[in-house]
Amino acid sequence: MQIQQIETFIVQQKLETPFYFSQWDYDTRTVCLVKVTLDDGTYGWGEGYGPAIVVQASIEFLKPFVIGSNPLHVETIWQTMHRRSLDFARRGVLVASLSAIDIALWDLRGKLLNQPVSVLLGGQRRDRVRVYATGLYFSEGDNLTERLADEAKLYAEQGFTAIKMKVGLGVKKDLAHIRAVREAIGDDIQLMIDSNHAFSRSEAYELAREAEAFNISFFEEPLSPEDYEGYHELRQRTTIPIAGGECEYLCDGFRHLLVDACVDIVQPDICAAGGLTEVKRIATLARTFHAELIPHCWGTGIAFAAGLHLVSTLDALPGRLYTPEPLLEMDRSENLLRDKLTQPVFSVNDGFVDVPTEAGLGVDVDLDYLEEVRI
Ligand code: CA
């Protein structure tokens, strides 16, 4: 039994309604998927987070070191890929490509052993995962504030008990949006804000200070991911928990965030930070610092399923009879690569999504649609 083939697929969707956030605008979604196939035809799917064309090229670089390996030796293969990439890219897209292959290997191993990935990760603590809605992006047109409030209300009606909104247009505008959204959803739903590292230290502090009145559950990426001292300082100055880490890679990157006491919540992306193998280690690392882990998640159903399996295995901190449920990000913005390319389409009930019980990740790719959207 050995790995025979590794194929990459770049898929693209033109958005019907372009949107923007603090850094740039989106009118297309592009993702690189990877399919790893054994000599007996068994296959697994993975996905990398980052510029798809670079993810694809990096997978091509890693491929020869993986082909011919025994697919059950997931950590051995991880270590080989890591050693081969370390000298050139201690962080970044090469790690995302390693992550994509690693996720496909977990999917494969689950299929070979006829077990869901959550069991291979050590066993479920829960069979459904609490998710928060990510949306509330900016779009052109009138009445943005009202439209954001309406969108937030829609998520509340869909059963979400936690919602994350974008900030980063400027403190005054952001506060008006936060106020409108909080009023629209009432006091019982958790509200989080994400600036995608839009702010200077003084702006981030000003927004945090003013936003405290609106009961914000966390402030994500308030500052540049390079500004570790700024994170540490902001965290001392506000009562809002600080979250970050979607631009961080590997245990060593997260160690930096944690040792410097930069964040309350670490947010590794499983498709970027080192795959399921490494994010499981990051979860252990975070626990030793008593920090929460809420994975960043953006992409197709493959990325989301990987998140469901991982979060289903996280221990609540510090642990008690009735514990708060760990969260997973669930992107709700327009995304046919999530809704049509992969099955099943995950549905939300009372703010929770069931963890797949099929062998492997429990998601498959619609090959007809794949050919339609492949570039
Ligand atoms: Ca984010």
Extract long-range pairs of 74-77: CB within 8 Å, 24+ residues apart. Answer: 74/102, 74/105, 74/106, 74/109, 74/277, 75/277, 77/101, 77/102, 77/105
* Residues near ion ligand 1 (Cβ under 5 Å): 194
pLDDT, mean of residues 193-212: 98
Cβ–Cβ < 8 Å for 59, 31? no
Q: What is the CA(372)–ligand 1 centre distance, in A?
A: 29
To which residue do tokens 């510029």 refer? Answer: 51
Classify 372 in phi/psi space as left (phi over 0), alpha (psi -120 to 50) or beta. alpha
Provide the pLDDT for residue 146.
98
Which of 82, 177, 197, 296 does the annotation list as catalytic?
A: 296
Average pLDDT for the chain: 97
- Whether the per-residue pLDDT at 186 is higher than 90: the answer is yes
Contact call for residues 117 and 128 (beta carbons, < 8 A): no
Return the closest-CA partner of residue 165 out of 185, 143, 195, 121: 195
pTM of the model: 0.98
Measured from the Cβ of residue 90, the count of other Cβ atoms closer than 10 Å reads: 14
pLDDT band at 259 (very low <50, low <70, confident <90, very high): very high
Instruction: Tell me the pLDDT band of 126, cut-offs 50, 70 and 90.
Output: very high
Q: pLDDT-derived band of residue 48, with 50, 70 and 90 as boundaries?
A: very high
Q: What's the burial of 297, exposed, middle or buried (CB within 10 Å: 0-12/13-18/19+)?
A: buried
The model's confidence at residue 316, banded by pLDDT at 50, 70 and 90, is confident
Tokens of 263: 């964040």
Ligand 1 center to 271 CA (angstroms): 14
What does the alpha-carbon distance between residue 299 and residue 134 come to, in Å, rounded to a whole number?
12
Cross-strand pairs, 249: none
State yes or no: pLDDT of 319 exceeds 90.
no
CA 313 – ligand 1 centroid, Å: 23
Beta bridge partners of 50: none
For residue 211, pLDDT beyond 90: yes
Average pLDDT of span 263-270: 98
pLDDT score, position 142: 94
- Burial of residue 203 (CB within 10 Å: 0-12, 13-18, 19+) is middle
Ligand 1: distance of its center to the CA of 246 in Å?
7
End-to-end Cα separation, the chain, in angstroms: 32
Average pLDDT for 254-272: 98
Domains contained in the chain, CATH given: 3-114+367-373 (3.30.390.10), 119-365 (3.20.20.120)
Q: pLDDT at residue 318 above 90?
A: no
> Is 290 an active-site residue?
no
Q: What's the pLDDT tens digit per position in 321-335?
A: 888 899 999 999 999
Dihedral, CA of residue 203, residue 208, residue 211 and residue 212, to nearest 10: -160
Binning pLDDT at 50, 70 and 90, where does residue 8 land? very high
Task: Please compute the mean of the pLDDT values over residues 151-173 and round it to a whole number.
Answer: 98
Longest dimension (CA), the chain: 60
Which pLDDT band holds residue 40 (cuts at 50, 70, 90)?
very high
Mean pLDDT of 218-236: 98
If you measure from the C-alpha of residue 50 to the centroid of ligand 1, how many angstroms do you get, rounded to a whole number? 13
Asked whether the predicted pLDDT for residue 317 surpasses 90, the reply is: no
194 CA → ligand 1 middle, Å: 6
Query: How many angstroms does the Cα of residue 209 sit away from the middle of ligand 1?
Result: 20
From the CA of 221, how far away is ligand 1's center (Å)?
7
Measure 113 CA to ligand 1 centroid, in angstroms.
35
Q: Which helix (H) or strand (E) holds 86?
A: helix 74-86
Which residues are 5's β-sheet partners? Answer: 37
139 pLDDT band, cuts 50/70/90, is very high
What pLDDT score was predicted for residue 268?
98
Which pair of tokens denotes residue 177? 């949006």
56-107 confidence digits (pLDDT tens): 999 999 999 999 999 999 999 999 999 999 999 899 999 999 999 999 999 9
Quote the ligand 1 centre to 72 CA distance (angstroms). Answer: 33
123 Cα–ligand 1 center, Å: 28
